[in-house]
Amino acid sequence: MNYYQHHIGDFNNATRYLTLVERALYRDLIEMYYDTEKAIDASDFDRLARRLLCRTDEEKTALRFVLSEFFELVDNTYVQSRCEREIAEYHAKKEQQSKAGRASAEKRSNRKASPVKSPNKENNTPVQEESNECSTDVEQPLNDPSTNHKPLTNNQEPIINTHTNAQEKFSEPEAWNPDREFLLTVIRTSVGEQAESVLELPDYEFQLGNFNAHWENKTTLTENQKTRKFATWLIQEFNKQKIPKPAKQSKSPQKSVSRNVNDAWGEIPKQEPVSDDYDPNEPPPGVSQQDWDENWV
């Protein structure tokens, strides 16, 4: 294989806990797997480490960890199920294309070996013969002089409506429906124990329909990418429905503002009016008689 599909999101999620050296070694091992189209030889670890440019003890330790984490030791080889599946699909597709090519070549060869003969081939010119050989089954009766001037009657063969077959052939595909187990796993990595509550949204089918309508033109999305995008979609809707709306505060009646400037001072205490029958020889209110006699008289 000279190429393979690399899904960035899947790779990052699977290798998030690795160091930079371990991530680089994992990529090198996968590319070696696809390049040779066979499992990695486990008979000589030092030779494998040298091929992957692992020279220090730290790099060799990282290589051992990656092999034990992502590969399975079978018959002295390191096997990975994802790589085996991709290689098998690649060869199946290649074989299918090869069969289609051979069938097309055989069909062209048979067409050249048995050309269609025209009734008037003896009197045809080379150009007319070539034209007759390329004519279709519908065009060939028109070349027959015996039918050129005969009117069509109602006894002719019925016309077959090919549009109906075309419509059935290109009918709309079924709506995408995710794998619930995988969807639950993806949601659980984001919200933990609330994943089941996210899947139990009352409008789950409605949200799925909106998601399909939004991404219907994205035909290049893989199953994993669609599932992860739908998981994010559901989590956002779950968070929106979970946040309670703030209660409306009742408006208190506003007090009318008085335009009287004296209202700011409050109620002014009333003073007793001055009495008209004041006797200058008597002490005023609040002064004792003794004090009056000693200090005022």
pLDDT of residue 191 exceeding 90, the answer is no
* Amino acid identity, position 86: E
284: tokens are 């005023």
The model's pLDDT over 103-134, given as tens digits with 9 standing for 90+, comes to: 888 888 888 777 655 555 555 555 455 555 55
Q: Cα(80)–Cα(193) distance, rounded to whole angstroms?
A: 31
* CA-wise closest residue to 241 among 203, 296, 284, 196: 203
The 10 Å Cβ neighbour count of residue 110 is 9
Give the strand pairing for 72-74 and 40-41.
unpaired
Mean pLDDT, residues 157-165 taken together = 51
Which of 100, 103, 104 has its CA nearest to residue 92? 100
Rounded to whole angstroms, how far apart are CA atoms 80 and 77?
10
Length of the chain: 297
Q: What angle do CA 24, 29, 31 make, to 5 degrees?
A: 95
25 pLDDT more than 90: yes
Residue type, 193: E
Which are the contacts of 87, defined by CB distance < 8 A and separation ≥ 6? 1, 34, 37
Give the number of other Cβ atoms within 10 Å of residue 62's Cβ.
Answer: 21
Average pLDDT of span 85-103? 87
pTM exceeds 0.85? no
- Please check the confidence at residue 190 and state whether its pLDDT lies above 50: yes
Rounded Cα distance between 88 and 81, Å, is: 11
The rounded distance, in Å, linking the Cα atoms of 83 and 22 is: 18
pLDDT for res 40: 95
User: What is the rounded distance in angstroms from the CA atom of residue 234 to the CA atom of residue 210?
Assistant: 11
Tokens, residue 226: 């669609």
Per-residue pLDDT averaged across 1-6, rounded?
81
Q: Would you list the domain boundaries of the chain?
A: 8-86, 115-145, 180-242
Mean pLDDT over 32-37 rounds to 92
State the average pLDDT over residues 46-60: 95
Instruction: Please determine, for residue 66, whether its predicted confidence score (pLDDT) is greater than 90.
Output: yes
Closest to 242 (Cα-Cα) out of 273, 282, 198? 198
Q: In whole angstroms, give the CA distance from residue 198 to residue 236.
A: 10
Q: Which two tokens stand for residue 96?
A: 């299918």
Q: What CA–CA distances, in Å, run from 7 to 10, 12, 168, 189? A: 6, 9, 34, 18
Confidence of residue 101 (pLDDT cuts 50, 70, 90): confident
- Residue 200 pLDDT exceeds 50: yes
Q: What is the pLDDT of residues 230-280, one digit of tens each?
A: 889 888 888 888 766 566 666 665 666 666 666 666 666 665 555 555 566
Six-digit token pair at 176?
């995408």
Question: What is the distance between the alpha carbons of residues 154 and 297, in angstroms, rounded to a whole number?
Answer: 153
- Greater confidence (183 vs 144) lies with 183
Residue with tokens 């960890």: 65
Contact 120, 145 (CB under 8 A): yes
Residue 168: its pLDDT value, please? 47
Average pLDDT value over all residues in the chain: 76
pLDDT at 228 over 60: yes
